[in-house]
């Protein structure tokens, strides 16, 4: 059934798309592949001449043709081979100082040699390109992709050649009202090919994706589903989990789906304290796809959050996908390890990956370290609620996020929005996203970061009609920063829903090393006192199941322009961008240590 849902979803969203785009492949990191990372030539195209002027002079102007003069008198006003180079994956804002604030079009070109193999298909994979991309191989258009934080791929078997090839990508990160995210957001709009690029090799019939889930009602059973790329019946697939002494063969149905139940004994469940992963192998013909998968359950019971049937408190933190030390977009295992080392220092067992799906290295490394994950799509602030194309875009990003990480045990919450203003159009839009997410994955929890909409006489009441569409009530509050400075001790809270509560954001800004009185903005003492008062206030909230203060480290934002303090950084980090601990860090660390002891 899951294979049918996936196929119908892709067809419905992209019935007018180019034929070569195929559903996102799962577990790309462990497939047979050739990396196209490294040096790419690039041309900045402020007026998009390389695209639009092609219509006027199609024999030479289109940059995607990678044209060369054939005669001395030929006029071609571009040359990728003479253009500068940029290391991919990366962002152009931090790789070229002239492009620090740039929003527009940049063309990228990579030449590479390839040897075609008999009976093999070639798939061109992009981990992420921000925001809109047009992809060409050897001058032929493969397709267009919209969305800056999810993967996409094309079957290029009929386009790739033996010998030298070139791929060209037109990347445009201009903000638009109908985009997801929309025109205004509070993080840096890093442009470029920001994640890995691969040529993936598969057999003619291959495993497209799969999922393994523990049966909540019977911990001795694992449900599984394997989707083939073609609707082919009678294909034998062998499932092996050596440590559990499982090796069984199953046959595909007419939809190319293999599904069933694996009976297991003495299964060790994945948890934050014991992040156990099992080696899993899926064999189709001679091809073997390997993964490491953990098994656990996540549920709610009234106002309790249950991991493997036991109440848990989520000691969390928010973070953006940004390298330390002004390094731009994070995109490597090393980046993930560095950021998560700070998360662990704080005493966290949970991260909110804001405000978009982060790269796969981050999710997998967090899983290995026992860090639970909230993963979110960038439906942020005021989206074009009544635009059908915007809804389709959000659905595509949601389905791609789920398709990539559906086997990661640490991902427990799919978030569909952040701080969206109330209204009927918003509720219609978000309710469809919630129902869509549940249709794709019923094993995880749905949430969104709401806002408190009623506050009077120091009494705060959460009122949001979306409460019935989420499993966990989450909301952002900035008492002590954007409102009610020094009034946190007076606050009371009313959350009239019998569901667990996560405070998805709270906090305030401080410049590391800037000291003064506790009532002086931007000092570490101000931020420290704000955190002291907030954690004392949060302790009084009935049903509090976790918090994710804003944010792990300072990060770049064009909205933050105060010279000498912000300098285009959001300064709400518990760490500076360089990894220096502010005084507020120790308040949260001590509070989380107490929570850890209380919840043992």
Structural domains of the chain in order of their starting residue, each with its CATH number:
31-202 (2.60.120.260), 207-295 (2.60.40.10), 299-507+523-552+580-598 (3.20.20.80)
Mean pLDDT across 63-79: 90
pLDDT band at 21 (very low <50, low <70, confident <90, very high): confident
CA proximity to 273, closest of 294, 300, 301, 293: 294
3-state secondary structure at position 312: coil
CA proximity to 92, closest of 321, 343, 311, 329: 329
Mean pLDDT across 186-199: 98
Mean pLDDT across 241-245: 97
CA proximity to 296, closest of 273, 319, 315, 314: 273
What is residue 478's DSSP assignment?
Answer: -
Residue with tokens 């997410």: 437
3-state secondary structure at position 151: coil
Q: Determine the pLDDT at residue 52.
A: 64
Q: Determine the pLDDT at residue 519.
A: 95
**How crowded is residue 17: how many other Cβ atoms within 10 Å of its Cβ?**
13
**What residues have CB less than 8 Å from 564, skipping those under 6 apart?**
none
Both structure tokens of 496 = 């009239």
What is the tens place of the pLDDT at every residue in 138-161? 999 999 999 999 999 999 999 999
Q: What's the residue count for the chain?
A: 600
Residue with tokens 């500068």: 84
Mean pLDDT across 506-519: 98
Question: What is the spatial distance between Cα 19 and Cα 170, in angstroms, rounded to a whole number?
Answer: 19
Both structure tokens of 553 = 């480290």
Mean pLDDT of the chain: 94
Mark out the alpha helices in 490-582 (DSSP H runs): 524-538
3-state secondary structure at position 99: helix
The percent of residues above 90 in pLDDT, for the chain, comes to 90
Q: Determine the pLDDT at residue 17.
A: 42
Q: Are 167 and 136 in contact (CB under 8 A)?
A: yes
* Helix (H) / strand (E) containing 6: helix 2-13
Question: What is the spatial distance between Cα 362 and Cα 110, in angstroms, rounded to a whole number?
Answer: 26
CA proximity to 61, closest of 69, 265, 81, 459: 69
Q: Determine the pLDDT at residue 307.
A: 98
- For residue 333, the Cα-to-chain-centroid distance in whole angstroms is 15
Given a cut of 70, is residue 10 above it in pLDDT?
Answer: no
Q: Determine the pLDDT at residue 164.
A: 97
3-state secondary structure at position 404: helix
Q: Residue 113: is it exposed, middle or buried by C-beta count within 10 angstroms (0-12/13-18/19+)?
A: exposed
Q: Determine the pLDDT at residue 457.
A: 86
What is the tens place of the pLDDT at every residue in 444-458? 999 999 987 667 889
Q: Determine the pLDDT at residue 455.
A: 77
Given a cut of 50, is residue 3 above it in pLDDT?
Answer: no
Q: Determine the pLDDT at residue 1.
A: 36
Both structure tokens of 533 = 């008062």
What is the tens place of the pLDDT at every residue in 309-343? 999 999 999 999 999 999 899 999 999 999 999 99
3-state secondary structure at position 51: helix
Given a cut of 50, is residue 19 above it in pLDDT?
Answer: no
What does the H/E/C string look like for 368-381?
Answer: HCCCEEEEECCCEC
Cα angle, residue 208 at apex, residues 205 and 209 outer, rounded to 5°? 145
Please list the residues that pair with 446 across neighbouring strands: 414
**Residue-wise DSSP of 203-269:** ESS-EEEEEEEE-TT-TTEEEEEEEESS--TT-EEEEEEGGGTEEEEEE--TTSEEEEEEE-SSPPP
- Considering Cα of 120, then 122, then 127, then 132, what sign does the dihedral take? negative
What is the tens place of the pLDDT at every residue in 379-427? 999 999 999 999 999 999 999 999 999 999 999 999 999 999 999 999 9
Given a cut of 60, is residue 13 above it in pLDDT?
Answer: no
**Residue-wise DSSP of 331-396:** -SHHHHHHHHHHHHHTT-SEEEE-SSPPPHHHHHHHHHTT-EEEEE---BSS--TT-HHHHHHHHH
CA proximity to 365, closest of 411, 320, 424: 411
Position with higher pLDDT, 283 vs 60: 283
Q: Determine the pLDDT at residue 61.
A: 63
* Helix (H) / strand (E) containing 598: helix 583-598
Beta pairing, strands 21-22 & 492-494: unpaired
**What residues have CB less than 8 Å from 172, skipping those under 6 apart?**
104, 105, 131, 132, 133
Q: Determine the pLDDT at residue 480.
A: 95
Q: Are 162 and 115 in contact (CB under 8 A)?
A: yes
Given a cut of 80, is residue 440 above it in pLDDT?
Answer: yes
What is the tens place of the pLDDT at every residue in 116-136? 999 999 999 999 999 999 999
CA proximity to 91, closest of 57, 63, 131: 131
What is the tens place of the pLDDT at every residue in 461-496? 999 999 999 999 999 999 999 998 989 999 999 999
């Amino acid at each position: 059934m899951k294979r049918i849902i996936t196929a119908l979803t892709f067809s419905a969203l992209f019935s007018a798309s180019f034929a070569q785009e195929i559903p996102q492949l799962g577990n790309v990191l462990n497939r047979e592949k050739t990396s196209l990372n490294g040096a790419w030539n690039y041309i900045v195209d402020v007026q998009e001449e390389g695209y639009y002027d092609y219509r006027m002079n199609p024999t030479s102007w289109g940059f995607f043709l990678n044209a060369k003069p054939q005669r001395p008198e030929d006029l071609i006003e571009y040359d990728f081979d003479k253009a500068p180079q940029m290391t991919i994956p990366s962002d152009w804002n931090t790789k070229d100082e002239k492009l620090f604030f740039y929003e527009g079009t940049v063309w990228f070109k990579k030449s590479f040699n390839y040897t075609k193999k008999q009976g093999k298909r070639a798939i061109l994979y992009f981990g992420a390109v921000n925001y809109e991309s047009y992809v060409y191989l050897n001058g032929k258009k493969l397709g267009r992709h919209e969305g800056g934080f999810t993967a996409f791929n094309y079957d290029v078997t009929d386009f790739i050649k033996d010998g030298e090839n070139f791929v060209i990508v037109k990347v445009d990160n201009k903000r638009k009202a109908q985009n997801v995210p929309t025109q205004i957001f509070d993080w840096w709009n890093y442009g470029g090919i920001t994640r890995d690029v691969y040529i993936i090799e598969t057999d003619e019939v291959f495993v497209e994706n799969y999922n393994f889930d523990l049966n909540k009602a019977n911990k001795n059973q694992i449900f599984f589903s394997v989707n083939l790329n073609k609707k082919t019946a009678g294909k034998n697939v062998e499932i092996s989990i050596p440590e559990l002494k499982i090796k069984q063969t199953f046959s595909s149905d007419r939809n190319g789906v293999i599904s069933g139940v694996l009976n297991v004994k003495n299964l060790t469940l994945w948890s934050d304290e014991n992040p156990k992963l099992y080696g899993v192998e899926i064999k189709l013909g001679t091809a073997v796809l390997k993964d490491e998968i953990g098994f656990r359950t996540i549920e709610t019971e009234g106002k309790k959050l249950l991991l493997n049937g036991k109440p848990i408190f989520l000691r969390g933190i928010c973070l953006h996908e940004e390298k330390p030390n002004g390094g731009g977009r994070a995109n490597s295992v090393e980046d993930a390890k560095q950021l998560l080392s700070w998360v662990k220092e704080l005493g966290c067992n949970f991260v909110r990956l804001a405000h978009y799906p982060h790269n796969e290295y981050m999710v997998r490394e967090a899983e290995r370290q026992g860090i639970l994950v909230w993963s979110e799509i960038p439906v942020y602030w005021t989206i074009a609620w009544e635009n059908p194309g915007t809804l389709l875009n959000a659905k595509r990003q949601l389905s791609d996020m789920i398709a990539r990480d559906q086997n990661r045990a640490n991902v427990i919450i799919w978030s569909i929005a952040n701080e969206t203003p109330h209204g009927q159009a918003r509720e219609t839009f978000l309710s469809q996203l919630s129902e869509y997410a549940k249709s794709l994955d019923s094993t995880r929890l749905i949430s969104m970061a709401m806002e408190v909409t009623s506050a009077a006489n120091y009494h705060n009441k959460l009122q949001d009609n979306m409460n019935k569409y989420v499993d966990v009530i989450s909301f952002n509050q900035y008492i002590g920063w954007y409102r009610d400075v020094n009034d946190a001790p007076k606050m009371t809270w009313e959350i009239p829903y019998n569901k667990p509560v996560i405070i998805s954001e709270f906090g305030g800004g401080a410049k590391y090393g800037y000291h003064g009185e506790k009532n002086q903005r931007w000092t570490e003492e101000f931020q420290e006192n704000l955190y002291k008062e907030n954690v004392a206030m949060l302790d009084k909230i009935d049903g509090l199941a976790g918090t994710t203060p804003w944010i792990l480290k300072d990060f770049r934002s064009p909205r933050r322009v105060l010279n000498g303090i912000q300098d285009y950084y959001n300064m709400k980090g518990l760490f500076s961008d360089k990894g220096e601990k502010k005084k507020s860090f120790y308040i949260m660390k001590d509070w989380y240590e107490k929570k850890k002891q209380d919840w043992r």
